[in-house]
Amino acid sequence: MRRAALLLGVVLVAAACSAQPADPPDPEELASKVTVDGMWARLEKLSELTLAGRGGRAEGTSGYDASVDYVANTLRDSGFDVQTPEVDRLALKSEGKPTLTIGSRGFAVDQASLLTSTPPGGLSAVTLRPAKPSGCAAADYAGVDVRGALAIVDDAVCSVVDKQNVAVAKGAVGVLMVSDTGTAGARAGLFPTGYYEKLTSPVAVIDAAADAALRRTSAPVELVLNAETVRVKFRNVVAQTKTGDARNVVVAGAHLDAAAGSPGVNDNATGVAAVLETAVALGGSPQVTNAVRFAFWGAGGAGLEGVTKYVAGLDRSGLDDIAMYLDFDMLGSPNAGYFTYDGDQSGAASPDFAAAKVPDGSAAIERTLAGYLNLAGVRPADMPLSRAGNYSPFLSAGVPIGGVTTGASQRKSETQARLWGGRAGQPFDPNYRTRGDTLDDINREALGITGPAVAFAVDTYARSTGGVNGVPARG
């Protein structure tokens, strides 16, 4: 009784500034409908479809396609408007051996676009540099005639596509881009969404050692770019309530695919099961203030192509209609931790996102989820924000984000073991992305805490995005 009263208090604070609430707020009621038994039935069905499908549940496999149909049909049966937009991504067929040969020495290079190779046998040409190293404008090549040459540029200022376009317009037969970032990662904007489809000439990324060797020669070099790819087509699943403000949408998502060769139960059938059970419990026409959109992404473990292309396909108005994005990934790790994504940047600094780039409202979402977990009996910790998360494209687009996870291959510390139990020094999920990620891998107790947290957060914000734990109005 005390826990119910406390939870109701959290909701009332979050809803205090809501305009015209449709019903007395009671997200705990929805949370109570997302049970371990209900989610377990979803896990069993997804496991069955995965094992029956050739290739598991990686996108492009029959197991993934069957899982898409299962999720989509379940949502339709619950009264949702459902779409299954098709997406494609590039998959590596053969790594080849991309090489730049300078004199008698070969340097390994990265093939910037797997869609564009050199002619059989490679491309032989001299190398020249623009007067201004970035090569982002025609004026950068003032006094330098690169016709028939490979242009050498750095990775500053503009995108690799712009560098290629300018060089080719000046007559270059290809581009060598010097980029030796180490663990820092590529500069933001260097490789924009869909860049590989816009690189129509041979473009190689070379390191400082190859660049130094190029500076010591004026002789022709040989470039071989021979990686081979195939296009993999798959579908996302997107379903929205028929009620609630469609200009202030709460989006909740999870990636539906699994790593190749893995049954993918914890990663991420658990997230799918919790989000799907929440959708079914909410229904397609609930009495809510804000519309709710449920999304199930493909390629979550392969470049985030499903969610990335979805966000990239939204115009400014479509982005402004999204109040927040809630992501749920790996909710039943056997050596579970309890993490909320670090929206308030109170934990260790993220190597991928500067604190100033985290959208306003993310801290409030973290407070809502952390408040629920605390009242459910576990004290959550911060999970640093990462470009590997399916929330990343939303965050980069300025949408407030939040979510819960029980951990992957990271190792549990002594302090975390004292806080949550389990085995210190061992991964939260020792079967992460392996054949061992089966139903036997799932921590039912953890799932019974994190699954209802999904429903609590969704219903809280479906009723109001105002209050002290609300998010700023967008648009």
Q: Residue 274: which H helix or E strand, with range?
A: helix 270-282
Task: Give the CATH fold of the 96-226 domain.
Answer: Glucose Oxidase; domain 1 (3.50.30)
Give, in words, the CATH class of 2-91+233-463. alpha beta
Q: Looking at beta carbons, which pairs linking 178-183 to residues 24 or more positions away fall under 8 Å? A: 178/152, 178/153, 178/154, 178/205, 178/206, 178/207, 178/208, 178/210, 178/211, 179/154, 179/155, 179/205, 179/206, 179/207, 180/207, 180/208, 180/211, 181/155, 183/351
173: β partners: none
d(CA 441, CA 266): 7
d(CA 428, CA 426): 7
Cβ count within 10 A of residue 355: 12
Quote the pLDDT of residue 185: 63
Quote the pLDDT of residue 95: 79
Q: Shortest CA distance to 272 belongs to which of 30, 16, 64, 18?
A: 64
Structure confidence by residue, pLDDT tens digits, 183-202: 456 777 888 877 888 999 99
Quote the pLDDT of residue 16: 36
**For the chain, which ranges sit under pLDDT 50?**
1-25, 183
d(CA 34, CA 26): 14
**Which two structure tokens, joined as six digits, stand for 182?**
């180490």
d(CA 93, CA 230): 6
- Where are the domains positioned within the chain? 2-91+233-463, 96-226
Say if CB 112 and CB 204 are below 8 A apart.
yes
CA distances from 224 to 95, 96, 195, 219 (A): 12, 9, 20, 17
Predicted structure pTM score: 0.78
Quote the pLDDT of residue 180: 75
**Which two structure tokens, joined as six digits, stand for 270?**
């658990």
Angle at the Cα of 55 (from 51 to 58), degrees rounded to 5?
A: 95
**Which two structure tokens, joined as six digits, stand for 420?**
């949550």
Burial 195-222 (b: 16+ CB within 10 A, else e): bbebbebbbbbbbeebbebbeeeeeebe
Structure confidence by residue, pLDDT tens digits, 197-256: 899 999 999 999 999 999 999 999 999 999 888 888 999 999 999 999 999 999 999 999
DSSP letters of 368-437? HHHHHHHHTT---EEE---TTSTTHHHHHTT--EEEEE--SSSBPPHHHHHHH-S-TTSBS-TTTTSTT-
The DSSP letter of residue 315 is: -
d(CA 100, CA 152): 13
Cis peptide before 268 (omega within 30 of 0): yes
Sole residue written with tokens 């059938």: 269
How many Cα atoms sit within 13 Å of 230 on the Cβ side?
6
Angle at the Cα of 20 (from 16 to 24), degrees rounded to 5?
A: 65
Quote the pLDDT of residue 182: 53
Q: Shortest CA distance to 390 belongs to which of 401, 379, 380?
A: 401
Cβ count within 10 A of residue 119: 10
Say if CB 417 and CB 424 are below 8 A apart.
yes
Say if CB 380 and CB 370 are below 8 A apart.
yes
